[in-house]
Every structure is written in C-alpha cells, then in structure tokens.
Amino acid sequence: MRGKVRYLLLGMAMLLIGIFFWKVLFPSEEKRVIKSFELLSQYVEKVAEEDILSTANRIKNIGQLFADPCEFKIEGDLSYSFVGSYSQEEIKGYALRGRAYFSELSVRFDDYKIEFPEKHLAQVRLTGRLTGRSTGGEKVDEGRELLCLLNKVEGNWLFSRLEVVEALKR
C-alpha cells in the first residue's frame, strides 16, 4: 500500500513538473502577443548616457517589431501628430529622432484586453504610459489608451496598426 502511495505522489509530482515546463516552453498566444509589447518597451527605453552602439541596436530591434508597412494614427496637437502608413525603415528613423529628444525614457504597457478575430490577427486594447526627461530637463509623464493590431508573421507577432484612442487624465 505504501508503495502505491509513493508511486502516486511521484506521478503527481512528474505531472506538475510537466505542466510547468509545458507552460514555460509553449506559452499561449496571448503571452506571445504581450511579449511583443514587452520587447517594444525594452527597446524604447533610454537611460542617461546611453552609448551609440546600444542606441543603434535598440533602433534596429524596434524596426523588427513592426510589419512593413505599419499604420499609425496618433493625433493630438500639431507637435506630435503621426498619421499614415510607414515602412520599417521610416519607423526606425522616427524612433531614432523621437528618442533623441529624451535624456531618459521609458514606456510601460498595462491592462491588456486581447482578442483574436482571425487566426493570425490579434486586436489589443491597452494603456500605455510614457515617462522620462527631455534633453532640456523637462519631466514627461503621459498616458494613452491604445488600440493595436498585430499580425502573426513567421511565428512572430508584429505590430501592423497602432492607434491612440484617447489621452488618459491624471
């Protein structure tokens, strides 16, 4: 009887370990979509005194997260209106110029609401918060509600549309 209990406990432990490794090695599509946002946040981040090689690597990686072309609809005042369809090269150029305005920069994404209207299409509504300090010393802290479309291309979820739905009030 004790042998059966021991084998049962050993079997349950192996099952739990198997489930853990399955979750780690084969994440759900939702987790893979969120990973694209986490990578974007990581690559956009800028720390004080960032070296040129780190900047170049981050810009290259930012471009790889976007479909070619990608649509943007970011409207606000005239100083940062960004509407249209852009290639990966154009996105990298805008990212480089945008990051140059900041001495420190971070972007955080929260409150993901993910839907899959088609097999290789994810629609994500979420909040984004941009914080940092401009090169002129001005502190920046802005929040936006975003609507994003991502297409699954060769196993990777790429941004194909990014739209600001509304500015969030503090």
Q: Write out the two tokens for 59.
A: 């810009």
pTM to 2 decimal places: 0.81
Fold of domain 31-167: Nuclear Transport Factor 2; Chain: A, (3.10.450)
Q: Kindly write down the DSSP assignment for every residue of 82-116, as one continuous string.
A: EEEEE-HHHHHHHHHHHHHTEEEEEEEEEEEEEEE
For 28-60, the pLDDT digits (tens) are 899 999 999 999 999 999 998 888 999 999 999
Domain boundaries defined on the chain: 31-167
pLDDT of residue 76: 72
